[in-house]
Amino acid sequence: GCFLAVSGAKDETMTDEWMESARKLKEIDGLLKPFLLEGKKQGGSAGLISSLERAQTVLYRNACLVQEIERQHDLAAAAPHSPHRNAILAQAAELTAELNHGLDEAIEAYSKTTGGALGPGR
Protein backbone atom coordinates (compact mmCIF):
# COMPACT_ATOMS: atom_id res chain seq x y z
CA GLY A 1 0.00 0.00 0.00
CA CYS A 2 0.98 3.62 -0.26
CA PHE A 3 1.28 5.91 2.67
CA LEU A 4 2.31 9.53 2.72
CA ALA A 5 5.93 9.56 3.67
CA VAL A 6 8.19 12.40 2.76
CA SER A 7 11.85 11.55 2.86
CA GLY A 8 14.73 13.78 1.94
CA ALA A 9 15.81 13.96 -1.66
CA LYS A 10 19.15 12.27 -2.07
CA ASP A 11 20.07 14.14 -5.20
CA GLU A 12 20.65 17.82 -4.54
CA THR A 13 20.49 18.67 -8.22
CA MET A 14 16.83 17.67 -8.14
CA THR A 15 14.02 20.10 -7.64
CA ASP A 16 12.28 20.25 -4.26
CA GLU A 17 9.01 21.03 -5.95
CA TRP A 18 7.67 17.52 -5.67
CA MET A 19 8.72 17.30 -2.02
CA GLU A 20 6.79 20.49 -1.37
CA SER A 21 3.79 18.89 -3.05
CA ALA A 22 4.24 15.75 -0.99
CA ARG A 23 4.31 17.80 2.21
CA LYS A 24 1.15 19.61 1.21
CA LEU A 25 -0.56 16.31 0.44
CA LYS A 26 0.36 15.03 3.87
CA GLU A 27 -1.12 18.17 5.38
CA ILE A 28 -4.41 17.83 3.48
CA ASP A 29 -4.53 14.15 4.38
CA GLY A 30 -4.14 15.04 8.06
CA LEU A 31 -6.96 17.57 7.79
CA LEU A 32 -9.27 15.27 5.87
CA LYS A 33 -9.13 12.23 8.15
CA PRO A 34 -10.87 13.87 11.12
CA PHE A 35 -13.57 15.28 8.81
CA LEU A 36 -14.23 11.84 7.37
CA LEU A 37 -14.46 10.23 10.80
CA GLU A 38 -16.61 13.04 12.17
CA GLY A 39 -18.85 13.00 9.10
CA LYS A 40 -19.53 9.30 9.49
CA LYS A 41 -20.01 9.56 13.24
CA GLN A 42 -22.45 12.46 12.95
CA GLY A 43 -24.30 10.62 10.23
CA GLY A 44 -23.24 13.29 7.75
CA SER A 45 -25.10 13.58 4.46
CA ALA A 46 -24.34 10.99 1.81
CA GLY A 47 -23.10 13.84 -0.38
CA LEU A 48 -20.61 15.01 2.22
CA ILE A 49 -19.34 11.52 2.90
CA SER A 50 -18.95 10.67 -0.76
CA SER A 51 -17.07 13.89 -1.44
CA LEU A 52 -14.79 13.18 1.54
CA GLU A 53 -14.16 9.69 0.27
CA ARG A 54 -13.44 11.03 -3.19
CA ALA A 55 -10.91 13.42 -1.67
CA GLN A 56 -9.27 10.54 0.16
CA THR A 57 -9.07 8.50 -3.02
CA VAL A 58 -7.31 11.38 -4.74
CA LEU A 59 -4.88 11.63 -1.83
CA TYR A 60 -4.20 7.91 -1.85
CA ARG A 61 -3.48 7.96 -5.56
CA ASN A 62 -1.08 10.85 -5.01
CA ALA A 63 0.67 9.04 -2.17
CA CYS A 64 1.47 6.26 -4.64
CA LEU A 65 2.75 8.88 -7.06
CA VAL A 66 5.00 10.39 -4.39
CA GLN A 67 6.54 6.97 -3.73
CA GLU A 68 7.09 6.41 -7.44
CA ILE A 69 8.75 9.85 -7.79
CA GLU A 70 11.03 9.08 -4.84
CA ARG A 71 11.96 5.79 -6.44
CA GLN A 72 12.85 7.53 -9.70
CA HIS A 73 14.94 10.13 -7.86
CA ASP A 74 16.78 7.41 -5.96
CA LEU A 75 17.49 5.53 -9.17
CA ALA A 76 18.90 8.68 -10.76
CA ALA A 77 20.95 9.52 -7.66
CA ALA A 78 22.34 5.99 -7.52
CA ALA A 79 23.56 6.19 -11.09
CA PRO A 80 24.86 9.70 -11.71
CA HIS A 81 26.77 8.60 -14.81
CA SER A 82 24.20 6.23 -16.19
CA PRO A 83 23.07 6.91 -19.75
CA HIS A 84 19.54 6.31 -18.45
CA ARG A 85 19.78 9.05 -15.83
CA ASN A 86 18.24 11.77 -18.02
CA ALA A 87 15.37 9.51 -18.99
CA ILE A 88 14.77 8.70 -15.31
CA LEU A 89 14.85 12.38 -14.35
CA ALA A 90 12.51 13.23 -17.21
CA GLN A 91 10.11 10.58 -15.95
CA ALA A 92 10.35 11.97 -12.42
CA ALA A 93 9.57 15.45 -13.78
CA GLU A 94 6.54 14.06 -15.59
CA LEU A 95 5.33 12.38 -12.41
CA THR A 96 5.86 15.63 -10.52
CA ALA A 97 3.58 17.45 -12.94
CA GLU A 98 1.00 14.71 -12.43
CA LEU A 99 1.39 15.02 -8.68
CA ASN A 100 0.81 18.77 -8.78
CA HIS A 101 -2.33 18.25 -10.82
CA GLY A 102 -3.52 15.67 -8.29
CA LEU A 103 -2.70 18.06 -5.48
CA ASP A 104 -4.95 20.71 -7.00
CA GLU A 105 -7.68 18.07 -7.23
CA ALA A 106 -7.20 17.18 -3.58
CA ILE A 107 -7.31 20.81 -2.48
CA GLU A 108 -10.46 21.36 -4.49
CA ALA A 109 -12.12 18.28 -3.01
CA TYR A 110 -11.06 19.41 0.46
CA SER A 111 -12.45 22.91 -0.06
CA LYS A 112 -15.77 21.59 -1.37
CA THR A 113 -16.06 19.28 1.59
CA THR A 114 -15.18 21.72 4.33
CA GLY A 115 -16.55 24.83 2.73
CA GLY A 116 -13.21 26.46 3.40
CA ALA A 117 -10.10 26.91 1.36
CA LEU A 118 -6.85 25.36 2.46
CA GLY A 119 -4.46 27.91 3.90
CA PRO A 120 -2.23 30.05 1.73
CA GLY A 121 -0.71 27.99 -1.00
CA ARG A 122 -1.08 27.07 -4.62
pLDDT tens-digit profile of 74-100?
Answer: 888 888 888 888 888 888 888 888 877
pLDDT tens-digit profile of 48-59?
Answer: 777 777 777 877
Q: What is the 3-state secondary structure (H, E, C) of 26-75?
A: HHHHHHHHHHHHHHHHCCCCHHHHHHHHHHHHHHHHHHHHHHHHHHHHHH
Could you tell me the pTM of the whole model? Answer: 0.56
DSSP state letters, 3-29: -------S-TTS-SHHHHHHHHHHHHH
Whether pLDDT at 73 is above 60: yes
Using the Cα atoms of residue 122, residue 10, residue 58 and residue 90 in order, give the sign of their dihedral.
positive
